[in-house]
Amino acid sequence: MLEDVCLRIAGRQIIDRVSLTVKQGDVAVFLGPSGAGKSTLLKIVLGLWRPTSGKVTIDGNDITSLDDEQMHDVRRRMGVVFQGNALFDSLTVQQNVGYFLQRRSAFPKEAIDRKVEEALAFVHLQGQGSLYPDELSGGMKKRVAIARAVVSNPDIILYDEPTTGLDPINARAILDLIRKLKARGTTSVVITHVLKDAFTIGDAFTLINEGTVIAAGSARSILSSQHPFVAEFMSDMLSQPPMPHAFALARQEAA
């Protein structure tokens, strides 16, 4: 949960009084154009940026007041899938997926190997552990990044633009994985500028522009917002027939 969070970098207000709440078990979508501040918000939640003012609480713990070691423990419960995947090119798929487990935990090697193989099976990459990132397609790399995020069984997974740059079939496979994790009870934060993907998987939405929250809530409440930016941001989608089913339904309800 964010409360009145501001972040200034080099005198520039990047995040301006953002308050939002992510409900446990939800797929929470942060929507907005490029440069809106979405990735920065994700880094604030991860504790990689400390807000200039405001509060960030995770399960009631204010993480802005934690020292590095305590932050480490909070971060352990979060998995993250970065936009560029952030895989280590010199490590195999298996080593990439097991990397943080190996560094952070006292698990014996066999236990780590088993968890890695389970995570790879979850993303449909079983038996591919000996490949290197260079040998993988974009969709496979994304799935390795997801396997690395889920391997430690986190409560929260954050995804930065998980479908950007993927073809529709691979993009759908990624959305299916996010859904499968939701079914397991994982809380998800998904950053995207792709409306269709947002409305396909999201339970709750926060529309961000220029570092501030423009609208927040259900698909219905976002769509019924009177803020002029909403119409502007949605206009591409509204003019693109055929409208995705979920979006059409949400609009109908909003009307």
Ligand X SMILES: Nc1ncnc2c1ncn2[C@@H]1O[C@H](COP(=O)(O)OP(=O)(O)O)[C@@H](O)[C@H]1O
State the residues that interact with ligand X by CB under 6 A. Answer: 9-10, 14, 32, 34-40
Told to check if 164 binds Mg ion by CB under 5 A, we report: no
Minimum Å distance from CB 76 to Mg ion?
Answer: 24
Residue with Cβ nearer ligand X (100 or 229) = 229
Is 167 strand, coil or helix? coil
Do 216 and 227 form a contact (C-beta atoms < 8 A)? Answer: no
Residue with Cβ nearer Mg ion (122 or 159) = 159
Residue with Cβ nearer ligand X (35 or 84) = 35
Q: Which one of ligand X, Mg ion, none is in contact with 188 (Cβ closer than 5 to 8 A by kind)? A: none
> How large is the angle between the packed helices 168-183 and 138-150, nearest 10 degrees?
10
Q: Which one of Mg ion, ligand X, none is in contact with 40 (Cβ closer than 5 to 8 A by kind)? A: ligand X
Minimum Å distance from CB 44 to Mg ion?
Answer: 13
Kindly report the length of the chain: 255
User: Which residues fall within 8 angstroms of residue 21, CB to CB, at 6 or more apart?
Assistant: 1, 2
Do 150 and 181 form a contact (C-beta atoms < 8 A)? Answer: yes
Range 9-68, binding Mg ion (CB under 5 A) = 39
Report CA-CA distances (Å) from 55 to 96, 166, 252: 33, 35, 37
Say which amino acid occupies 163.
T
Do 28 and 22 form a contact (C-beta atoms < 8 A)? Answer: yes
Minimum Å distance from CB 193 to ligand X?
Answer: 7
Minimum Å distance from CB 237 to ligand X?
Answer: 18
Residue with Cβ nearer ligand X (13 or 224) = 13
CA Rg, the chain, in Å? 19
Minimum Å distance from CB 14 to ligand X?
Answer: 4
Residue with Cβ nearer ligand X (36 or 120) = 36
Q: Which one of Mg ion, ligand X, none is in contact with 79 (Cβ closer than 5 to 8 A by kind)? A: none
Q: How far apart are CA 88 and CA 26, in angstroms?
A: 30
Minimum Å distance from CB 90 to Mg ion?
Answer: 26
Minimum Å distance from CB 35 to ligand X?
Answer: 4
**Token pair in block for residue 104:** 């952070």
Do 214 and 227 form a contact (C-beta atoms < 8 A)? Answer: yes
Range 188-207, binding Mg ion (CB under 5 A) = none
Q: Which one of Mg ion, ligand X, none is in contact with 37 (Cβ closer than 5 to 8 A by kind)? A: ligand X
User: Cis omega (within 30 of 0) on the bond before 51?
Assistant: no
Range 115-134, binding Mg ion (CB under 5 A) = none
Q: How far apart are CA 233 and CA 228, in angstroms?
A: 9
Residue with Cβ nearer ligand X (194 or 246) = 194
Residue with tokens 């504790």: 47
Q: Which one of Mg ion, ligand X, none is in contact with 35 (Cβ closer than 5 to 8 A by kind)? A: ligand X
Q: Where along the sequence are the contacts to Mg ion (CB under 5 A)?
A: 39
